[in-house]
Structures are given as structure tokens and as C-alpha cells.
Chain A
Amino acid sequence: MEKQQLPEKPFLDATKSVFKSMLDMDIDSLPGDENPKQEENVRIEIAMVGDLSGSVVYNFPKSTTLNIVKTLSGMEADRLDDFATSMLGEMANIISGNAATSLSGANCKCDIRPPQITISHMAQSDSHNSVDMLLHSQVGELCEHICLSSNV
């Protein structure tokens, strides 16, 4: 599948929907020439299998992560610990699951695998064949890299 055909819309729509329902916040796309924040990131990779295969990587900068944790838990958060990274892992899981459901509705059957969570200093994608989305909301930026290819 060519880069321009990659299905970023279901992921963008799912991200907007989950941010709206869970955080009561809107999300905007930032221009493609903007660079992601260079700070510690929670990197969550979710593999997909089925009619599309590959992975979707979510990079949540530390500041965004801590703002989300504070908003959802109502508690102060000042470090990227297991509680915070696991919470973001579940959010990425929910977003990916919703996107997979949307793709299934368009007759593209995919399953998602459990999130793989790491702390990274790089927000850029390490793939040349990914669609990168830099997004912004009240809690800060996040970056999604969609690297999927068609098997049908």
C-alpha cells in the first residue's frame, strides 16, 4: 500500500473521539512541517494483523502524559511511572480498537495486539513508509505514526 493510501483517517477520527469522550477535549492537526516536541516520550506501539498489517506508534511527550494523568485521575503526577505509562497504553489501545472497528465497517478486517510501552527520547518515526500525524489538544501534543501495509 502506498503512503498516500494509508488509512490515517480512522485513527485520527478515533483519537478525536476518545479525547472528546474521556478528556472532554478537542484535537487539532498541526501542519506537517511542524516538528514534534523534543522531550521524553511515552512510546506505545500497537501491532495490527489481518487485511492490514504493521503497527501504529503513539508518542506522548512527558508533559502531555502527565496532563492526561492529572485530568483522568484528579491527582498530581510528576513522573513517568508505571501507573502513568499503563494509563496511556490503555488509551492507545482504546483508540486503536476503535479505529480497527471503523476499518472493519469498511470491510477491512484487522485485529490489534497488546500495547508495547517504552520510554523514548525520539518522537520521530523510524520508518520511511509511515504517515505521521502531529496533533494538539489542551493537554499538549501527541504524535501518531501509522505504518501499515495491505495484505489484500
Chain B
Amino acid sequence: MMWKEKYKIGIPQIDKQHKELFDRVEQFLTALRKEGDWQEKLPEIKKTLLFMQNYVVVHFDAEEVYQKKIGYPDLQQHHLIHKEFTDYVMQCAHDFEKEGYPEQSVQKFAGKLLAWLINHVVATDLKMSDYVKKEGAL
């Protein structure tokens, strides 16, 4: 299982969404990494990629609404990080569609996606959790 308890940042509604996001990334990676012919795997890869990318937007939006609600001082910077990554994901999805989902590009995208996401949760989002604990804003 990809999700680990150590990824929890201590804000229940955000932790719940992070777990959902990791579950969707795991479904995408499972479809991508299983043995078999690329063309045969492709329908499942496309489906799980779309399922995952939709939730990236939903989760980032919800996280920013929460940050606004608690008066998080780094909201603007956090928003820019989210926007840059969302743009990257959307651009890749667009390029894959246009280029016929080349295996090498999709595998590269998946490797970067997973490392980025884990680091974002355990480093960047943890700063939000530290603020909540300090300010008692939960």
C-alpha cells in the first residue's frame, strides 16, 4: 500500500483527502506498472490517470479554502506551488492525448509525480500543520 500513516499531518480533513489522493495515484501506478502489453493496459491507464488528475484539482482547491479559513500566512506561496504542479499535470495529460500516450513519457511522468507528491505532503503541507498547532486554528 502506498499510503503510510507517517504521511498524516494531523489535520483530519486534509489527511482524509491526502489518503484519497494517494489511493488514486496508487490505482494509476498499479495500472501503469503491471506486466503486459502497453496497448492492452492503456484504457485502464487513461481511466485512472483522469480519475487521479481530477482529484488533484479538487484536493488543492479544498486545501486552499481551508488555508483561507484559518488565515494561513503562506497561502499565496502554497497556491503558486499547487498551480505550478496542476499546470504540469494538465500539460502532460494534454501531451499524452496528443502523442498517443507514449510509454516512456507516461512512466517518467509517474515517477516524478509520486516523488513530488510525497515531498509536498511531508514537507510543504507539514508547515501548514505546524501553523495550525501553533495557532490552535484546527
Contact = CB atoms under 8 A, between A and B. Distances in A.
B116 A90 contact: yes
B115 interface: yes
Taking chain B's interface residues, is the majority helix, strand, or loop, or is none over half, making it mixed?
A: helix
B111 A74 contact: no
Contact of A86 (B108, B123, B126): B108
Main secondary structure of the interface of A (DSSP, over half): helix
Number of contact residues on A: which range applies? 20 to 34
Which interface class (under 10, 10 to 19, 20 to 34, 35 or more) fits B? Answer: 20 to 34
A1 interface: no
A90 B2 CA distance: 18
10 tightest CB-CB pairs across the interface, nearest first? A86-B111, A87-B111, A90-B115, A82-B107, A86-B108, A83-B107, A83-B111, A21-B122, A90-B112, A74-B2
Given A24-B6, A82-B111, 15 more contacts: A21-B126, A22-B122, A72-B114, A73-B33, A74-B1, A75-B2, A83-B33, A84-B111, A86-B110, A87-B111, A87-B112, A87-B114, A88-B111, A91-B115, A91-B119
18 contacts: A22-B115, A72-B115, A72-B118, A73-B2, A73-B33, A75-B2, A81-B107, A82-B107, A82-B111, A83-B110, A86-B108, A86-B109, A86-B110, A87-B112, A88-B111, A88-B115, A90-B115, A90-B116
